[in-house]
Amino acid sequence: MRAAVLRAPQASIEIADVPKPAPGAGEVLIRMEACGICHSDLFLAGRPKMPMIPLVLGHEGIGIVEELGPGVDKLRLGERVGMGFLYRSCGDCSYCHSGRENYCPKRLETGYTAQGALAEYAVAAEAFVARIPEGLPAMQAAPLCCAGLTAYQALRTAGLAAGEWVAIFGAGGLGHLAIQIAKHWGLKVALVDVTAEKLEQAVRLGADLVINGAVQSPREALKPVGGASAAITFTNARPAIEQAFPTLRPNGILVLVGLCTEPFALPVLQTVLQGLRISGILVGTPRDLQEIVNLAATGVAHVDVEPCRLDDVPAVFERMRLGKILGRAVVKF
C-alpha cells in the first residue's frame, strides 16, 4: 500500500510503498477514504528525536472497516469509522478510570508512537474510534478527528456561558471550526489572525469582531467589551500567546492549544490579582470524538476543505509551514 512516510527525524516526507498492516487483538483494519493533514504532523516531523522510524504520519482518518482482529465485538465489517490522535490507553491507571485517557502515561498516539492514517489502509483500536453518522461525508468528517475534537475540547474547557466573549487566536484548521462551535453555543467571538484571507473567512463564519494581530492590539480592541472571558491560542506563535494573555478580564482563562516550543513570561502579579487561569489541551477522549462528529452531522462545524491527493502531501506540508492553508487540507483516497 502507499503511505506518507517519515524515514528519519526532520527528514522530508516521502510517498512510498509499505506493507499493508494487519489488525491485532481488539483492532480493526480500515480502508481509508480520507485523512486530514494536521499542523501537528508538521510539528512531529520536525522533532529531532522520534520514538519510531520509519513512521506513517496522520491522525485524522476516516474509512471503512475491512477486517476485524481477535476480540472485536462492537464494530462490524463495512462500518464507517474515524480514528484520531489517541490510538490506545492502558485502561488501568487513574487517568483512564476518570475519563482522561488522553493523559494516560502509557498511551499510544496515532502517527507518532503508532503507525498513522495517511495511508491507503490503517489499523485502529476498536475502543478508540468513532462511528461516523450517515450523511456526514468522509472529507468533512476527517478533520473533526483532531481539529474539530481539539477545538471542541478547548471551548468546553473554557467553560463559558452564552453571551460571554472568547478571543480565538489563529483561524486555521482548528480556529475556523472553533468559531462555528462557539457561535452555536451563543458565545461572542473575537478572532485574531495576521492573514487577510483568514480574517475574511472569520467574518463569513460569524465572528463578532476580527482583529489583525500584526497591526492591532487585541487587548485594546477588546477593551470596549471589558476583555475576554477566555482566550484560546490555536497558533504555535509565541507572539500570539503574549497577545492573548492581556486580553483576559478578571477570572478569565487562557487555553493553550498550539504546540509552541518557546517559553513565554507569565505575569504572576496580574495572574494572582485577577484570579486568572491557564490550561493546556491535548485532543480528547473517544467519547469526545463521538460527540463532535455527532454535532457536525447536525450541520454545526462545517469544514473548509482543500481536497488533495496522497502524492500532494509533501507540497501541502511546505504550504502549511508557510501558513498558506485556508481551513484544512484533506487527502481523498
Find the length of the chain.
Answer: 333
Cα separation, 69 vs 212, in Å, equals 51
Express each pLDDT in 306-316 by its tens digit. 999 999 999 99
What percent of the chain has a predicted confidence (pLDDT) above 90?
93
Express each pLDDT in 24-33 by its tens digit. 999 999 999 9
- Tell me, what's the pLDDT at 322? 87
Express each pLDDT in 215-246 by its tens digit. 999 999 999 999 999 999 999 899 999 999 99
Cα separation, 326 vs 210, in Å, equals 16
Cα separation, 78 vs 63, in Å, equals 9
- Tell me, what's the pLDDT at 189? 98
- Tell me, what's the pLDDT at 79? 98
Residue type, 41: D
Cα separation, 260 vs 38, in Å, equals 15
User: Span 40-46, mean pLDDT?
Assistant: 91
CB 100 within 8 A of CB 5: no
Domains, the chain, with CATH or none: 2-146+283-332 (3.90.180.10), 148-280 (3.40.50.720)
- Tell me, what's the pLDDT at 323? 83
Tell me the three-class secondary structure of 140-158, residue by residue.
HHHHHHCHHHHHHHHHHHH
- Tell me, what's the pLDDT at 324? 85
Express each pLDDT in 49-100 by its tens digit. 999 999 999 999 999 999 999 999 999 999 999 999 999 999 999 999 999 9
CA 138 to mean position of chain CA atoms? 16
pLDDT at 172 over 90: no
pLDDT at 325 over 90: no
Q: Tell me the average pLDDT of the chain.
A: 96
pLDDT at 181 over 90: yes
As a whole number of Å, the CA-based R_g of the chain is 19
What percent of the chain has a predicted confidence (pLDDT) above 70?
100
**3-class DSSP state for residue 322?**
coil
